[in-house]
Amino acid sequence: MLSEGPHAAGTRVVVQGKRGPEVATVRGEPQAPDPQARYGSVLRVATAEDLACWEELHRRAEDLKWLLRARARERGLPVKIVAVEFTLDESLVTISYSAEDRIELGGLIGEVRGHTRARVNFTAVGPREQAQMIGALGACGRGNCSSTHLQEFSPVSIRMARDQQLPLNPEKLSGPCGRLLCCLQFEHAMYLELLRDLPRKNAKVCHTESGACGKVTKLHPLSGTVDVQTDQGLLTGVPAQALTRVLDPAAGKGRRPDATATDA
């Protein structure tokens, strides 16, 4: 959040949101204003009138959400009304929805007109946006990141799970939205840095102390160790510094098969 002045954490303020003025809560230290930013700046500390107006708009938005859900059901529209949100000045009401296919919702505008003079904006949202609006518990047992502190969604890939040596189990890697956990991206850069000092999985190595040679079967980036399967048995938790990497002639002209790789 950008700020025009220092505000203590927990202070209720009016900010310039993406769609218009909104009431928000300060959660951290102020940051230098970004002249290129179109939203996020603190306009003022919220007054008692601002807070009362915001609460009333929230109540009306909830009532309107349930009304639209009922009307959509009556008309047989295959749509889910996820949220209804007013700007603080009531100049705009945004109706977020999800649907499997493209759908025409213009017929519901009349229902909205009977309850507000605000301009109506219908916007389709995906699973992550739904989790952000509705809220849910994450795998950690706390509120999910999308509904607590994330302002924008960054791409999350299965490669991030592989780099962190996590089991590729969809049930464990998916959040309440059914998509890959947003938190996979938080420590990914650190894992990439740690993996640079480790041999690649399946690389051929020799243990300098025992002379046993074998294949790397598992990486432990946080401890800087690996497991090596040798003819004599499995060596577990071997420090990377205690291993000599063996060049594979099939890999090409002197190229080491384990160089800067992070495949799981």
Structural Rg of the chain based on CA atoms: 27
What's the confidence (pLDDT) of residue 5? 56
What is the distance between the alpha carbons of residues 128 and 175, in angstroms, rounded to a whole number? 9
Count of CB atoms situated within 10 Å of the CB of 248: 14
Residue type, 168: L
Q: Could you give the residue range(s) of every CATH 2.30.30.30 domain in the chain?
A: 197-251
CA-wise closest residue to 95 among 76, 109, 74, 115: 109
| Rounded to 5°, angle at Cα 254 from 250 and 255 | 75
What's the confidence (pLDDT) of residue 186? 87
- Residues of the chain scoring pLDDT < 50: 1-4, 250-264
- CATH for 197-251, options being 3.40.50.300, 3.30.1280.10, 3.20.20.60, 2.30.30.30: 2.30.30.30
Beta carbons of 243 and 205 less than 8 angstroms apart: yes
Beta carbons of 94 and 121 less than 8 angstroms apart: yes
Unique residue bearing structure tokens 């800067």: 260
- How far are the Cα atoms of 182, 184, 185 from residue 190, in angstroms, in the given order? 16, 11, 10
pTM for this model (two decimals) = 0.67
The tokens for 167 are 């089991």
The tokens for 65 are 């959400």
Count of CB atoms situated within 10 Å of the CB of 23: 18
- CATH for 51-125, options being 3.30.70, 2.60.120, 3.40.50, 3.30.300: 3.30.300
What is the distance between the alpha carbons of residues 102 and 44, in angstroms, rounded to a whole number? 40
Q: Could you give the residue range(s) of every CATH 3.30.300 domain in the chain?
A: 51-125
With the CA atoms of 215, 218, 222 and 223 taken in that order, what torsion angle do they form, in degrees rounded to the nearest 10? -50
How does pLDDT run across 116-165, given as a tens digit for each residue?
999 999 999 988 888 888 877 777 788 887 777 777 778 889 999 988 88
